């Protein structure tokens, strides 16, 4: 049975109450002893789209991490980016404690502590969200831990951050540490990075660990018979505008990214060429950086047409051309949030819609091919209140009906079955 209007209102209020109560400044406190239990949840498989994994770094000091979720492939509706990386938290040195500590600046802190706003919406679309970790000009970094105990302590801080904020993993970036330049802090060594990834993997066996292939650590990717590829899921080229595959023992091309582009400065021809080389070389990652609020769909389409044989569209752009072969329903108004695959003409009960990624009582906007019509029903099996739309509709709250003498409802978050004609 469909929920009553009063039930919906009460449920929404309870959800609101539950959620509502829920580079160098301000250390975040962590409890390492909680970390091991925090990562028992299995990491879900990345996007099943046929082609390389799209990885995007977002400098959250100046850009919104939610930009990563704005781009989908036009025909399949799949996300262009599979991994979004929050850039970046820091490794600082705490002289009082005599150890490396994890610090977040105000912008990173804002993203992490407001996970329901910035992290969970991306994860709801199937995008994995990682936190990047790099040095902070204090002599501490991923390459100068001098004991397994010290590496474990920092790994526990990272693991606990993943648990606390519901992240999908950690990305390592061996820059700006300034090893050997700060008093008695040691220089980089042969064992540090390997000890760190071993300890982090033991604490979060089902999360993602990635490696931005730069710094002293690239020369120390095996130690005491162990290889970095046994603990790290992915590694990618850190030099934007170049094509160069990392050399990580134990990782094959399917887990490497040779292409690295800055979406604001790498030319279209270079980006497209890198996409061709990615396919021909069998590389499993394409790396993007500096995704801003500008609509980059045209630029990204040049890449996605090579990688996936599809254009890229920005789902926040309400002037999008309609899809060509099916209706696409969206979780939010203005074609925002998660999206279904293109749904062909036909009559669809709830279970049939769900096969296309539709969720009950969820849809807020729809794109229709030119000349198509959709009849939207509040109940399963084409019953209840209905609305007929004859064109793409950006906001279901504007679709109203009067099911009773004293009640008016809109179509937002109400749809359970559809006829597409």
Q: Known catalytic residues?
A: 175
Give me the sheet containing 346-348, strands edge to edge.
346-348, 417-420, 374-379, 383-389
Please give the DSSP secondary-structure letter assigned to residue 69.
Answer: G
Residue 297 backbone dihedrals phi, psi, to 5 degrees: -60, -40
In Å, how far are 174, 182, 332, 349, 411 from 417, measured between CA atoms? 51, 65, 18, 5, 12
Residue with tokens 């679709």: 399
| Rounded CA separation 162/38 (Å) | 8
Residues 248 and 258: beta-carbon distance below 8 Å: no
Q: Which two tokens stand for residue 43?
A: 């990491």
Residues 172 and 142: beta-carbon distance below 8 Å: yes
| Rounded CA separation 331/361 (Å) | 9
Q: How would you label 96-131 residue by residue, b for 16+ Cβ within 10 Å and e otherwise?
A: eeebbbbbbbebbbebbeebeebbebbbebbbbbbb
| Rounded CA separation 324/73 (Å) | 12
| Rounded CA separation 394/396 (Å) | 7
Residues 283 and 256: beta-carbon distance below 8 Å: yes
Query: DSSP labels for 210-223?
Result: EEE--SGGGG--EE
Residues 46 and 313: beta-carbon distance below 8 Å: no
Residues 367 and 323: beta-carbon distance below 8 Å: yes
């Amino acid at each position: 049975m469909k929920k009553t209007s009063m039930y919906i209102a009460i449920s929404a209020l309870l959800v609101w109450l539950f959620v509502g109560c829920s580079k160098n400044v301000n250390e975040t406190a962590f409890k390492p002893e909680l970390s091991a239990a925090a990562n028992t949840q299995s990491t879900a498989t990345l996007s099943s789209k046929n082609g390389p994994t799209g990885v995007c770094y977002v400098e959250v000091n100046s850009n919104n991490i939610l930009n990563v979720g704005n781009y989908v492939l036009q025909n399949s509706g799949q996300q262009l980016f599979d991994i979004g990386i929050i850039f970046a938290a820091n490794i600082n040195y705490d002289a009082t404690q005599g150890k490396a500590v994890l610090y977040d600046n105000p912008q990173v802190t804002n993203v992490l502590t407001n996970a329901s706003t910035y992290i969970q919406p991306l994860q709801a679309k199937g995008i994995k969200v990682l936190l990047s970790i790099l040095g902070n000009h204090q002599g501490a970094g991923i390459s100068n831990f001098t004991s397994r105990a010290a590496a474990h302590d920092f790994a526990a801080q990272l693991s606990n951050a993943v648990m606390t904020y519901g992240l999908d993993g950690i990305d390592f970036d061996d820059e700006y540490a300034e090893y050997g330049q700060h008093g008695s802090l040691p220089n980089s060594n042969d064992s540090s990075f390997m000890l760190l990834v071993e300890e982090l993997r033991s604490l979060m066996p089902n999360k993602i660990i990635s490696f931005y292939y730069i710094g002293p650590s690239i020369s120390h990717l095996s130690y005491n018979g162990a290889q970095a590829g046994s603990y790290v899921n992915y590694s990618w080229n850190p030099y934007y505008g170049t094509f160069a595959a990392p050399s990580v023992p134990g990782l094959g091309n399917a887990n490497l990214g040779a292409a690295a582009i800055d979406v604001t400065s790498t030319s279209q021809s270079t980006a497209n060429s890198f996409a061709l080389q990615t396919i021909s070389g069998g590389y499993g990652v394409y790396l993007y950086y500096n995704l801003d609020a500008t609509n980059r769909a045209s630029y990204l389409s040049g890449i996605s047409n090579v990688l996936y044989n599809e254009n890229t569209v920005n789902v926040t752009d309400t002037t999008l051309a309609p899809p060509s072969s099916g209706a696409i329903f969206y979780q939010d108004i203005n074609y925002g949030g998660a999206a279904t695959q293109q749904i062909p003409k036909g009559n669809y009960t709830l279970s049939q819609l769900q096969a296309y990624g539709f969720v009950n009582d969820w849809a807020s906007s729809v794109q229709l091919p030119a000349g198509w019509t959709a009849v939207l029903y509040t109940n399963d099996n084409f019953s209840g209140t209905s609305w007929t739309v004859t064109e793409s509709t950006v906001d279901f709250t504007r679709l109203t009906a009067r099911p009773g003498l004293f009640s008016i409802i809109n179509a937002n978050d109400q749809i359970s079955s559809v006829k597409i004609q």
